[in-house]
Amino acid sequence: MSSHLFIVWQDSYNVDCPIINEQHKGIISTINTLHYFIQEGHELTFLKPTVDLSKMFMGFHFATEQGILAKSRYPGSEEDEALRKQLFAQYKFICQEACIHREPELLLSFLKNWWIKHLTEEHKKFAPYLKN
């Protein structure tokens, strides 16, 4: 059994907003859980529950970010909201494909790529507006 995590939380992931940090940790936990089940050979048993949980986490996270950014008068709030909706639709499609074709690695790859892009590109644009 491999005890390696797929994504390890780093202090550099922290933003100046505790609820966003906690949600990010929850998303990483879900990604790591899927990775664990793949490593253990139980990915098909836990694929659907992981999909359901990750959809909830991402939905909560996007709603939280959008709410904070709207209140902070972030100038790109409307554009980012449209991007979040598009990403969430794409994510739901990937989840459906992963379940239909029984390919959890498809979901894992999407989640990791999204995570990297979310933190390295998206958060850099609006991180200053997440401060309490």
CATH of the domain at 113: 1.20.120.50
Name the residue with higher pLDDT: 47 or 127: 47
* pLDDT above 90 coverage of the chain, percent: 39
Average pLDDT, the chain: 87
Residue 132, pLDDT score: 55
Count of domains observed in the chain: 1
Residue 25 structural domain: 17-130
Residue 29 covered by a domain: yes
For 50, how many CA atoms within 13 A lie in the half-sphere containing its CB? Answer: 30
Residue 5: inside a domain: no
**Is residue 4 a part of any domain in this protein?**
no
Residues 103-107 have a mean pLDDT of 93
How high is the pLDDT of residue 39?
A: 93
86 class by beta-carbon count within 10 Å (0-12 exposed, 13-18 middle, 19+ buried): exposed
What share of the chain in percent tops pLDDT 70? 97
pLDDT band of 2, cuts 50, 70, 90:
low
How sure is the predictor about 3, in pLDDT bands with cuts at 50, 70 and 90?
low
